[in-house]
Structure 1
Amino acid sequence: MAAGTATPVGIGVVGIEHLHVFELVDGLVAAGCTPVAHASASDSLADLYGTWQASSEPVGAEAVLSDPRVDVVVLAGVPADRADVAVAALEAGKDVLSAKPGVTTAAQLARVRGAATASGRRWWVLFSERYANPAVLRAVELARTGAIGRVVHVEASAPHRLSPDERPAWFFDRERAGGIVVDLGTHQVDHFLAATGADAADVQVVASAAGSTRDWGDDPARAGFEDVGELVLAAPGVRGHHRIDFLEPDGFPTWGDTRLVITGTDGRLEVRIAVGDDGQHEPAAVWITDHRGVHRDDEVPEATWARDLLADRADGGERFMARDHAFDVTALALQAAAAASGWGTA
Structure 2
Amino acid sequence: MSNYPKLRFGVVGIDHRHIYDQVKSLLEIGSECAGYWTAGETYIEKGFVERFPDIPRIDDRQQLLEDPSIQLITCAAIPYQRADFAIEAMLHGKDFMVDKPGVTTLDQLERVKKVQRETGQIYSINFTEHFEVRAVTTATELVRSGAIGRVIQTVGLGSHRLNRATRPAWFFDPVQYGGILVDIASHQIEQFLHFTGSADAEIVSARYGNVGHPDDPGLQDFGEIALANEMAGGYIRVDWFTPDGLATWGDGRLTILGTEGYIELRKYIDIAGRPGKDHLFIVNQNETRYIDCSQARLPYYTDLKRDIFERTETAMTHRHCFKVCELALTAQAVAKSINRKDV
Tell me the TM-score range normalised by the shorter chain. over 0.9
Deviation at 1:195, TM superposition (A): 0.8
Distance 2:239 2:179 in 1: 11
| TM alignment of 1:94-243, pairs within 5 A | 94-200=94-200, 203-217=201-215, 222-243=216-237
Q: Partner of 1:247 in structure 2?
A: 241
1:294 matched residue in structure 2? 288
2:17 counterpart letter in structure 1: L
Superposed displacement of residue 54, structure 1: 1.4
Q: C-alpha separation between the residues in 1 aligned to 2:331 and 2:100?
A: 16
Structure 1 residues 171-216: Cα deviation after superposition (integer angstroms, max 9, x where no partner): 110000111000001101111011100112xx11111110001243
Query: Separation in 1 of the partners of 2:16 and 2:202?
Result: 31
Would you say how many aligned residue pairs link Structure 1 and Structure 2?
A: 336
| Paired amino acid for 1:274 | D
Q: Is the 8 A contact 2:196 2:231 kept in 1?
A: no
Unaligned runs of 5+ in 2: none
User: 1:4 maps to which residue?
Assistant: 3
Give, in angstroms, the shift of residue 235 of structure 1.
1.3
* 3-state SS of paired residue (1:141): helix
Q: Distance in 2 between matches of 1:216 and 1:16?
A: 29
Match of 1:309 in 2: 304
Q: Measure how far apart 1:343 and its partner are.
A: 2.9
* Distance verdict in 2 for CA 1:170–1:281, change over 3 Å: farther
TM-score, normalised via structure 2 length: 0.93
Provide the rounded CA distance (Å) in 1 between the counterparts of 2:11 and 2:319.
23
- The 3-state SS of whatever aligns with 1:324 is helix
Tell me the SS of whatever aligns to 2:142: helix
Distance 1:46 1:297 in 2: 37
Question: How far, CA to CA, are the matches of 1:53 and 1:95 in structure 2?
Answer: 25
Distance (whole Å) between structure 2 residues aligned to residue 47 and residue 135 of structure 1: 31
Contact 1:287 1:296 in 2 (8 A): yes
Percent identity reads: 34
- Please list every run of 5 or more consecutive structure 1 residues that lacks an aligned counterpart in the other structure: none
Give distance in 2, aligned partners of 1:46 and 1:322.
31
**Structure 2 match to 1:275:** 271
TM-score normalised to structure 1 length:
0.92
The 8 Å contact of residues 10 and 34 in structure 1, kept in 2 or not, is answered as yes
2:329 to 328, 334, 346: 334
SS across alignment from 1:58:
coil
Q: Please give the per-residue CA displacement for 1:49-81, whole angstroms capped at 9, x wherever unaligned.
A: 345141334222222212223211111111001
Q: Is 1:31 matched up with 2:7?
A: no
